[in-house]
Amino acid sequence: METSQQKASKESVVYSFGVVALEIACGRRSIEPKFHEPRVLLVQWVWESYRNGRVLDVTDKKMGMGFNSKQMECLVVVGLWCAHLCHNLRSLIRQVIQTLHFEAPLSNLSSTMLVLCYNAPIALGIRSSEAVLVSNITLTLPH
């Protein structure tokens, strides 16, 4: 049996932290096949809510309103920042800790981040090892 000898990169650790932060805030797994599109992929769904100015709409409904909205917004935004599609735009762990302690300002994530980008590499037949940034694209999809 062959085992992988590869170590996790800083970027993959930051991404994983972001996904876990979003799972905690939203009270669900990163992939939920029981949901209908676009809620299947957690990061994609949260990006869409953030882009539409509804960042707190993704919080775990079991919590009701039993949370500090400023802290929850911080957790969700930090989660998105860490799980950014482009690894070179992800936060450094030092920045994450400072932001979560409110020692640094909350990042203003780009509202131009296209949720569709998460599926673009697969749809375009691009290998996962290739970097892809899609912006300013218009798609016409059949209904």
Q: What SS3 state is found at 25? A: helix
Give Cα separations from 85 to 12, 18, 108, 126 (angstroms): 11, 11, 15, 14
Of 32-41, 77-86, 123-132, the range with the highest mean pLDDT is 77-86
Q: Which two tokens stand for residue 6?
A: 């590869």
**Greatest CA separation for the chain:** 49
pTM of the model: 0.69
Instruction: Write the pLDDT tens digit of every residue in 23-76.
Output: 999 998 888 777 766 667 889 889 989 988 898 999 988 877 778 889 999 999
Residue 141: burial class (beta carbons within 10 Å; 0-12, 13-18, 19+) = exposed
User: CA torsion 75→80→82→85, rounded to 10°?
Assistant: 170
**Domains identified in the chain and CATH numbers:** 10-109 (1.10.510.10)
> What local confidence, expressed as pLDDT, does residue 1 receive?
47
Task: Please state, as a whole number, how many other Cβ atoms lie within 10 Å of the Cβ of residue 25.
Answer: 26
Query: Is the pLDDT at 129 greater than 90, yes or no?
Result: no
Q: Which two tokens stand for residue 30?
A: 């990163």
